[in-house]
Amino acid sequence: MTDAEHPLLILGTRTFAEEVADLASAIPGLHVAGFVENLDKDRCTQPLRGLPVFWIDDIDHLLPTHRAVCALSTTFRSRFIRQAEEIGLLFTSLIHPSAVISAQTEIGIGAVIGAGSVIGAHSHLSPHVVVNRGALIGHHTAIGSFCSIQPGANVAGACSIGEAVYIGMGAIIIDHIHIGAHAVVGAGAVVTKDVPERVQVIGLPARIVKDNIDGR
Protein backbone atom coordinates (compact mmCIF):
# COMPACT_ATOMS: atom_id res chain seq x y z
CA MET A 1 0.00 0.00 0.00
CA THR A 2 2.85 2.42 0.73
CA ASP A 3 4.63 4.14 -2.14
CA ALA A 4 8.24 4.18 -0.91
CA GLU A 5 9.44 5.77 -4.15
CA HIS A 6 8.01 9.15 -3.13
CA PRO A 7 9.03 11.21 -0.08
CA LEU A 8 6.21 11.51 2.45
CA LEU A 9 4.51 14.65 3.71
CA ILE A 10 2.52 14.36 6.92
CA LEU A 11 -0.46 16.69 7.18
CA GLY A 12 -0.61 17.95 10.74
CA THR A 13 1.84 19.19 13.36
CA ARG A 14 0.39 17.94 16.64
CA THR A 15 1.38 14.91 18.69
CA PHE A 16 -0.41 12.40 16.47
CA ALA A 17 1.60 13.69 13.51
CA GLU A 18 4.76 12.79 15.44
CA GLU A 19 3.30 9.34 16.10
CA VAL A 20 2.59 8.84 12.40
CA ALA A 21 6.12 9.96 11.52
CA ASP A 22 7.40 7.26 13.87
CA LEU A 23 5.12 4.71 12.20
CA ALA A 24 6.49 5.73 8.81
CA SER A 25 10.06 5.28 10.04
CA ALA A 26 9.30 1.58 10.58
CA ILE A 27 8.47 1.07 6.88
CA PRO A 28 11.58 0.11 4.90
CA GLY A 29 12.60 2.57 2.21
CA LEU A 30 10.11 5.28 3.22
CA HIS A 31 11.45 8.79 3.72
CA VAL A 32 9.51 11.42 5.68
CA ALA A 33 10.24 14.80 4.10
CA GLY A 34 8.35 16.97 6.57
CA PHE A 35 5.04 18.12 8.01
CA VAL A 36 2.35 20.40 6.55
CA GLU A 37 0.39 23.03 8.52
CA ASN A 38 -2.81 24.80 7.38
CA LEU A 39 -4.01 26.78 10.42
CA ASP A 40 -1.12 28.45 12.24
CA LYS A 41 1.65 29.73 9.98
CA ASP A 42 3.87 30.44 13.00
CA ARG A 43 4.30 26.69 13.42
CA CYS A 44 6.26 26.71 10.16
CA THR A 45 9.08 28.79 11.68
CA GLN A 46 10.51 25.90 13.68
CA PRO A 47 11.30 22.30 12.64
CA LEU A 48 9.31 19.48 14.20
CA ARG A 49 11.34 16.47 15.30
CA GLY A 50 14.14 17.77 13.11
CA LEU A 51 11.97 17.99 9.97
CA PRO A 52 10.68 21.08 8.18
CA VAL A 53 7.11 22.30 8.58
CA PHE A 54 5.62 23.56 5.30
CA TRP A 55 2.72 25.97 4.96
CA ILE A 56 -0.01 24.38 2.82
CA ASP A 57 0.10 27.21 0.25
CA ASP A 58 3.86 26.87 -0.23
CA ILE A 59 4.17 23.25 -1.37
CA ASP A 60 3.42 23.58 -5.08
CA HIS A 61 7.00 22.59 -5.92
CA LEU A 62 6.59 19.33 -3.97
CA LEU A 63 3.35 18.16 -5.59
CA PRO A 64 4.91 16.20 -8.50
CA THR A 65 7.33 14.24 -6.35
CA HIS A 66 5.79 13.79 -2.89
CA ARG A 67 2.88 11.85 -1.43
CA ALA A 68 0.95 12.51 1.78
CA VAL A 69 -1.07 11.11 4.66
CA CYS A 70 -3.19 13.12 7.09
CA ALA A 71 -2.19 12.69 10.72
CA LEU A 72 -5.13 14.25 12.52
CA SER A 73 -6.96 11.76 14.73
CA THR A 74 -10.16 13.80 14.60
CA THR A 75 -12.69 12.91 11.91
CA PHE A 76 -12.63 16.61 10.94
CA ARG A 77 -9.39 15.84 9.07
CA SER A 78 -11.60 15.61 5.99
CA ARG A 79 -11.33 19.41 5.73
CA PHE A 80 -7.52 19.35 5.60
CA ILE A 81 -7.53 16.44 3.15
CA ARG A 82 -9.92 18.19 0.79
CA GLN A 83 -7.86 21.36 0.94
CA ALA A 84 -4.75 19.36 0.01
CA GLU A 85 -6.57 17.53 -2.80
CA GLU A 86 -7.72 20.85 -4.26
CA ILE A 87 -4.11 21.96 -4.79
CA GLY A 88 -3.21 18.59 -6.37
CA LEU A 89 -1.48 16.76 -3.51
CA LEU A 90 -1.65 12.97 -3.94
CA PHE A 91 -2.08 10.57 -1.04
CA THR A 92 -0.66 7.21 -0.08
CA SER A 93 -1.34 4.76 2.77
CA LEU A 94 0.81 3.81 5.75
CA ILE A 95 0.62 0.30 7.19
CA HIS A 96 2.87 -0.63 10.10
CA PRO A 97 4.83 -3.84 9.42
CA SER A 98 3.32 -5.49 12.51
CA ALA A 99 -0.28 -4.99 11.34
CA VAL A 100 -2.05 -8.15 10.15
CA ILE A 101 -4.42 -7.55 7.23
CA SER A 102 -6.19 -10.23 5.23
CA ALA A 103 -5.21 -10.40 1.58
CA GLN A 104 -8.96 -10.43 0.87
CA THR A 105 -9.48 -7.00 2.45
CA GLU A 106 -9.37 -3.67 0.59
CA ILE A 107 -7.64 -0.64 2.11
CA GLY A 108 -8.51 2.77 0.64
CA ILE A 109 -5.96 5.44 -0.20
CA GLY A 110 -4.74 7.64 2.64
CA ALA A 111 -5.24 5.03 5.37
CA VAL A 112 -3.03 4.95 8.46
CA ILE A 113 -2.89 1.47 10.01
CA GLY A 114 -1.07 1.37 13.34
CA ALA A 115 1.17 -1.18 15.02
CA GLY A 116 -0.46 -4.41 16.17
CA SER A 117 -3.79 -3.81 14.47
CA VAL A 118 -5.64 -6.73 12.85
CA ILE A 119 -8.16 -6.56 10.01
CA GLY A 120 -10.10 -9.68 9.04
CA ALA A 121 -11.05 -11.12 5.67
CA HIS A 122 -13.37 -9.55 3.08
CA SER A 123 -13.56 -6.20 4.83
CA HIS A 124 -13.35 -2.80 3.16
CA LEU A 125 -11.80 0.40 4.47
CA SER A 126 -12.73 3.51 2.51
CA PRO A 127 -10.16 6.29 1.97
CA HIS A 128 -8.46 8.15 4.83
CA VAL A 129 -9.38 5.79 7.66
CA VAL A 130 -7.18 5.81 10.76
CA VAL A 131 -6.85 2.46 12.58
CA ASN A 132 -4.78 3.16 15.65
CA ARG A 133 -2.49 0.85 17.65
CA GLY A 134 -3.87 -2.56 18.53
CA ALA A 135 -7.34 -1.99 17.08
CA LEU A 136 -9.24 -4.99 15.71
CA ILE A 137 -11.64 -5.06 12.76
CA GLY A 138 -13.53 -8.25 11.99
CA HIS A 139 -14.34 -9.97 8.71
CA HIS A 140 -16.88 -8.62 6.20
CA THR A 141 -16.92 -5.20 7.87
CA ALA A 142 -17.16 -1.91 5.96
CA ILE A 143 -15.55 1.24 7.37
CA GLY A 144 -16.50 4.61 5.86
CA SER A 145 -14.12 7.38 4.81
CA PHE A 146 -12.47 9.55 7.49
CA CYS A 147 -13.31 7.16 10.34
CA SER A 148 -11.05 7.10 13.39
CA ILE A 149 -10.71 3.80 15.23
CA GLN A 150 -8.71 4.44 18.37
CA PRO A 151 -6.23 2.16 20.21
CA GLY A 152 -7.62 -1.15 21.40
CA ALA A 153 -11.08 -0.72 19.88
CA ASN A 154 -12.70 -3.95 18.66
CA VAL A 155 -15.13 -3.80 15.74
CA ALA A 156 -16.62 -7.26 15.16
CA GLY A 157 -17.52 -8.99 11.92
CA ALA A 158 -20.20 -7.95 9.41
CA CYS A 159 -20.47 -4.41 10.78
CA SER A 160 -21.17 -1.27 8.77
CA ILE A 161 -19.53 1.93 10.00
CA GLY A 162 -20.62 5.17 8.30
CA GLU A 163 -18.46 8.06 7.16
CA ALA A 164 -16.48 10.08 9.73
CA VAL A 165 -17.36 7.89 12.73
CA TYR A 166 -15.11 8.18 15.79
CA ILE A 167 -14.70 4.97 17.81
CA GLY A 168 -12.96 5.65 21.11
CA MET A 169 -10.20 3.72 22.83
CA GLY A 170 -11.19 0.24 23.97
CA ALA A 171 -14.74 0.43 22.62
CA ILE A 172 -16.42 -2.81 21.53
CA ILE A 173 -18.86 -3.06 18.62
CA ILE A 174 -20.56 -6.46 18.48
CA ASP A 175 -21.20 -8.20 15.16
CA HIS A 176 -23.78 -7.09 12.55
CA ILE A 177 -24.04 -3.55 13.98
CA HIS A 178 -24.54 -0.42 11.86
CA ILE A 179 -23.20 2.92 13.10
CA GLY A 180 -24.45 6.01 11.31
CA ALA A 181 -22.23 8.68 9.80
CA HIS A 182 -20.54 11.23 12.09
CA ALA A 183 -21.44 9.31 15.25
CA VAL A 184 -19.07 9.11 18.22
CA VAL A 185 -18.62 5.95 20.29
CA GLY A 186 -17.06 6.81 23.63
CA ALA A 187 -14.00 5.10 25.05
CA GLY A 188 -14.84 1.72 26.59
CA ALA A 189 -18.42 1.70 25.30
CA VAL A 190 -20.02 -1.62 24.36
CA VAL A 191 -22.33 -1.19 21.38
CA THR A 192 -25.03 -3.88 21.22
CA LYS A 193 -27.52 -2.25 18.84
CA ASP A 194 -27.46 0.03 15.82
CA VAL A 195 -26.41 3.65 16.38
CA PRO A 196 -28.10 6.49 14.44
CA GLU A 197 -26.21 9.21 12.57
CA ARG A 198 -24.73 12.19 14.43
CA VAL A 199 -25.11 10.94 18.01
CA GLN A 200 -22.65 10.17 20.80
CA VAL A 201 -22.99 6.94 22.73
CA ILE A 202 -21.24 5.84 25.92
CA GLY A 203 -21.48 3.09 28.52
CA LEU A 204 -22.28 -0.61 28.81
CA PRO A 205 -24.51 -1.13 26.98
CA ALA A 206 -23.93 2.01 24.96
CA ARG A 207 -26.67 4.65 25.18
CA ILE A 208 -27.18 7.97 23.43
CA VAL A 209 -26.06 10.96 25.49
CA LYS A 210 -25.80 13.64 22.79
CA ASP A 211 -27.29 14.23 19.37
CA ASN A 212 -26.90 16.59 16.40
CA ILE A 213 -23.11 16.26 16.46
CA ASP A 214 -20.70 16.21 13.52
CA GLY A 215 -18.08 13.62 14.54
CA ARG A 216 -15.13 14.41 16.74
Largest CA distance in the chain: 51
User: What residues are annotated to the active site?
Assistant: 139
How crowded is residue 72: how many other Cβ atoms within 10 Å of its Cβ? 22
Task: Give the residue among 77, 86, 78 at the shortest CA–CA distance from 59.
Answer: 86
Four-point Cα dihedral 80, 47, 150, 160, nearest 10: 30
Q: How far is CA 16 from CA 19, 79, 130, 136, in A?
A: 5, 17, 11, 20
172: Cα separation from own chain's centroid: 18
Each as own residue / partner, the long-range contacts of residues 29-34 (CB below 8 Å, 24 or more positions apart, any chain) are 29/4, 30/2, 30/4, 30/94, 31/4, 31/7, 32/7, 32/8, 33/7, 33/8, 33/9, 33/62, 33/66, 34/9, 34/10
